[in-house]
Copies of this chain bind each other. A is one copy, B any other.
Amino acid sequence: MKKLVEQITSREDDFAAWYTDVVKKAGLIDYSSAKGFVVLRPYAYAIWENIQSIADKMFKDTGHENVYMPLIIPESLLQKEKDHVVGFAPEVAWITHGGTEELSERFCIRPTSETLFCEHYSHVVQSWRDLPKLYNQWCSVVRWEKTTRPFLRSREFLWQEGHTIHATSQEAQDEALRMLDIYTNLAEEYLAMPVVRGRKTEGEKFAGAVSTYTMECMMHDGKALQSGTTHFFGDGFSKAFDIQFTDKENKLSYPFQTSWGFSTRLIGGIIMTHGDDSGLVLPPAVAPIQVIVIPIAQHKPGVLEKCREVCEKLKNAGIRARIDDSDYSPGWKFAEYEMKGVPVRLELGPRDIEAEQCVLAKRTGGKATAPINGVTDAAADVLKDVQAELLASARQNLKNRSSQAFCLDEMVQIAKTKGGFITTMWCGGGGCENTVKEATDGVKSRCLPFDQSPIADVCAVCGERADRVLVWGYQY
């Protein structure tokens, strides 16, 4: 098959350069003059809108309400919860002046909004009748990272942050796990990104959390991407912010909290899970254009009309279809939409019209003809196929990239060759996490997976007795 797409670095030659080529050439981002702050161009923002609309519905269907908290946090408020401030203060942006005036107290731009939600809870939670509050907000946050990469690690990113507060510890713990389930559903069913799920170790959990749950995805190059986390806070934040409520027995109690978030990082995950040497490959569920209609010999009478008619038909059936009737050549268009990862290309020329059919070509490979008469059903089926193929091939990569190891040497050996997820037994010591990180130049624990069936009885790192299963890997 002829290579139609303009040259991008090959994935195998240099994965990082391939990634940068794709985000630029598929028209996803533009760099601004502020390092780590990128422009999300229409194509990237449309992917984000699709993710938002799927997730927002899931959140609302489970009783969550959207709110909007201030962009900035007074320094004194950020400092109220001790672990939290230690975790975030080193990477926040500080506002010191309003107009020409120096401010009497500094404000940071929110790196996350726990402290703001806590301040608000302290105003609106008085009685058991006020609980639970199930809140979410869509916004951007700022973290002053040293090294930055579009979508994966940037100084500003878009995300959603859920924040909930409950009367009982059990209810809050359930919420943290329920939201992880919702994230998993989003990742697997819509983004075609299979996940490994579990709890973070003490060393890797969120600043201020009792437990952090995570879903970890496997990228094409064997590195893990932490793709969504949910946190159970216990009553620590409530105590730090003096949030109390009168329970049904008329006693004052501290409520229990959670928070949970995913971000535009997911777009980076989509690129690195599904992309190939011809560019982006988008799962139909979130693709801004699901079917691109490309007229063949469009100067011939009747071709454009028929193409437009077919495109309208698809749109009316709820398919995100678009026609490219520009005066570029069909070859140029094939390459363009291949680069942009459009799941299905519909070709339609004079001979097709005569035969009352069109060609449906999948971005994942393969093409077939479909009767123009039944084109919407055919297109819907092909889109379903592409969605399923992407998930299957990502599952296969996850499987190929999953190993077990029983000693440190073996861990190093696997990390340095095939990478991926490495499952071992673990004694529970943070020292062993450090040992692995040093020996492998960066492998960290990903999570204690929910399936804790032991594969041995000693820690792969120190050889001490161990009853915990831990998954490790290089990370983005």
Could you list which residues of chain A lie within 8 angstroms of chain B, going by C-beta atoms?
A: 30, 32-34, 37-42, 45-46, 48-49, 65-74, 77, 89-100, 107, 109, 116, 119-120, 123-124, 135, 139-140, 142, 144, 155-156, 158
Contact = CB atoms under 8 A, between A and B. Distances in A.
Contact of A100 (B65, B70, B73, B90): B90
B96 A92 contact: no
Contact of A71 (B37, B65, B124): B37
9 contacts: A32-B69, A32-B70, A48-B68, A71-B109, A90-B99, A91-B99, A96-B96, A98-B144, A139-B140
Contacts of A66: 42, 45-46, 49
A46 B68 contact: no
Given A33-B119, A40-B67, A124-B30, A99 B109 contact: no
A401 to B, nearest CB: 32
B70 A42 contact: no
A97 B97 contact: no
A99 B95 contact: no
A70 B109 contact: no
A71 B142 contact: yes
Contacts of A90: 99-100
A36 B30 CA distance: 32
A72 to B, nearest CB: 6
A74 to B, nearest CB: 6
Given A94-B96, A123-B30, A40 B65 contact: no
A42, A74, A77, A155, most chain B CB atoms within 10 A: A42
A214 B37 CA distance: 32
Contacts of A120: 30, 32, 39
A116 B40 contact: no
Given A68-B158, A93-B95, A158-B68, A74 B34 contact: yes
B39 A70 contact: yes
A138 B49 CA distance: 11
Given A37-B71, A92-B98, 13 more contacts: A30-B120, A32-B70, A32-B116, A33-B77, A33-B119, A37-B70, A37-B72, A39-B69, A39-B120, A40-B67, A42-B67, A94-B96, A96-B96
Contacts of A91: 98-99
Contact of A93 (B46, B74, B97, B123): B97
A95 B109 contact: yes
A119 B39 CA distance: 10
Contacts of A74: 33-34
B93 A94 contact: no
Given A97-B96, A99-B91, A71 B123 contact: no
Contacts of A77: 33
Contacts of A70: 32, 34, 37-39, 156
Contacts of A30: 120, 123-124
